[in-house]
Amino acid sequence: MQRMPQMMLPKPAQPSKPAQPRTTAPPRTTTRPRWKALSVATRAVVGGTVALTLLGGAVARTSRAAEPKPPAAPPSGAAAFGKTAPLKIAFAYVGPVGDAGWTYAHDKARRAVEAEYGAKVVTSFVENVPEAADAERVIRDMVSQGNTLIFGTTFGYMTPMMKVAKDMKDVKFEHATGYKTAANLRTYDARTYEGAYLAGVIAGGMTKSNILGVVGSIPIPEVIRNIDSFTLGAQSVNPKIQTRVVWVNKWFDPPKESEGAQALLNDGADVLMQNTDSSAVLQAAEKAGKFGFGWDSDMKKFGPNAHLGSAIIDWAPYYKKAVGEALAGTWKTGQTWWGLKEGAIDLVSISSKVPEALKQKVETIKKGLRDGTFAVWKGPIVDQAGKELLKPGQVADDKFLHGINFYVKGVTGKPPKGP
């Protein structure tokens, strides 16, 4: 057996001392048998690790649904205005393309752009870009690779994009869900609250316990607005409902989302809604034999019995427009907020379990949204204390909508507060 490194044992020939609490090993007379065993062990460890990694590689390869196209060999950045050189577009995603939710929706729209413009564009993406200091490096690298139109698909990229936009004046930046703009950076967003309202209409009609549950992600105005809109929609068909909310404080954390959903179900909710990016809540509803919705993307396949409808975002119309403008040279800064009217929002795959009358109501509302006669946030709307927020007939403007950090009547609890 091995000898101690230089410290303690006097001579190599020292025999074991049984009186000591720990006995020493007798000297080795030969190293060969041990060598062999060790080599085997070492080989086993290394071989095992290699095998595991190979297996992982093979699994990853077969399991990847779609390989993204690597961008063409990087030309210099000045190809933006050339007629023959394709427009290079890059997308920065906060999550994995396979989240079947937020990022998946963006990627779907990216592929629609490719289909629409064909050889005129070359797209690429980077997924799992954290909303932190690293984002700036990724975006700068995208620019250095010759991309002249860059989409940042989450709020947290705002500061990095602004910094890069300041330095790279001939690159155009599109920032989702942000609020800062520059000459070469504009923002875009979708009126997700319209989809939430439509889902609420169905929820209100389908609930038996009159308790609705929402698994909230991060308590920003958009999400609070969605919770309120969901409640308003439900109240329009069933004034008795009550909405309960739990917060997982993440956009994407399926195990936590499951647990939050379970807690809501345990407390009596029989229709669930979420603002998180995975299908975990719908699946929890499915397991419990209750109802749920899909969010951001069509999630019907994740809970065929529970699924009542999916409030989806379709970024394709906007992306096509943006790319078209970039190609035609008519790209201008601004702030865009599209809803059902422009084709950015919809409630799809409405279940056959939903009664016809309710479906009709949803269709009527959609028609009203399209032709501008219907508004989700139209008074009278009161807050939890009963104070009137919107007078009867008063329609909220975008400024009001952006500042929503309160719950409407019918929602239990208080939203996490700001200063």
Q: How far is the CB of 206 from other proteins (least distance, A)?
A: 20
Q: Which of 87, 89, 113, 127 binds other proteins (CB under 8 A)?
A: 127
Contact flag: residue 254 with other proteins (CB under 8 A): yes
Q: Are the C-beta atoms of 17 and 8 separated by less than 8 Å? A: no
Select 253 or 383, whichever has its Cβ closest to other proteins. 253
Q: Which two tokens stand for residue 394?
A: 């008063």
Query: In the window 330-369, what residues touch other proteins (CB under 8 A)?
Result: none
Query: In the window 150-169, what residues touch other proteins (CB under 8 A)?
Result: 155-156, 159, 167
Q: How far is the CB of 235 from other proteins (least distance, A)?
A: 18
Paired with 182 in beta bridges are: 185
First-to-last alpha carbon distance for the chain, in angstroms, is: 67
Phi/psi at 272 (5° precision): -110, 150
Q: Are the C-beta atoms of 412 and 245 separated by less than 8 Å? A: yes
Query: In the window 11-30, what residues touch other proteins (CB under 8 A)?
Result: 12, 16, 20-26
Q: Which of 32, 61, 83, 208 binds other proteins (CB under 8 A)?
A: 61
Query: In the window 106-125, what residues touch other proteins (CB under 8 A)?
Result: 124-125
Q: How far is the CB of 65 from other proteins (least distance, A)?
A: 6
Select 359 or 402, whichever has its Cβ closest to other proteins. 402
Edge-to-edge, what's the strand order for the sheet holding 345-348? 292-296, 307-313, 345-348
Select 305 or 333, whichever has its Cβ closest to other proteins. 305
Distances in Å between the Cα of 129 and the Cα atoms of 109, 134, 137, 317 are 18, 7, 10, 24
Q: Which two tokens stand for residue 49?
A: 């690790």
Q: Which of 322, 358, 362, 360 is nearest to 342 (CA)?
A: 322
Contact flag: residue 246 with other proteins (CB under 8 A): yes
Contact flag: residue 268 with other proteins (CB under 8 A): yes
Residue with tokens 């970024």: 315
Select 365 or 410, whichever has its Cβ closest to other proteins. 410
Please state, as a whole number, how many other Cβ atoms lie within 10 Å of the Cβ of residue 4. Answer: 9
Q: Which of 104, 117, 319, 331 binds other proteins (CB under 8 A)?
A: 104
Q: Are the C-beta atoms of 102 and 296 separated by less than 8 Å? A: yes
Contact flag: residue 132 with other proteins (CB under 8 A): yes
Give how many residues touch other proteins by CB under 8 A: 124
Q: Are the C-beta atoms of 94 and 129 separated by less than 8 Å? A: yes
Distances in Å between the Cα of 402 and the Cα atoms of 43, 44, 94, 125 are 61, 60, 22, 29
Select 60 or 357, whichever has its Cβ closest to other proteins. 60
Q: How far is the CB of 134 from other proteins (least distance, A)?
A: 7
Q: How far is the CB of 385 from other proteins (least distance, A)?
A: 14
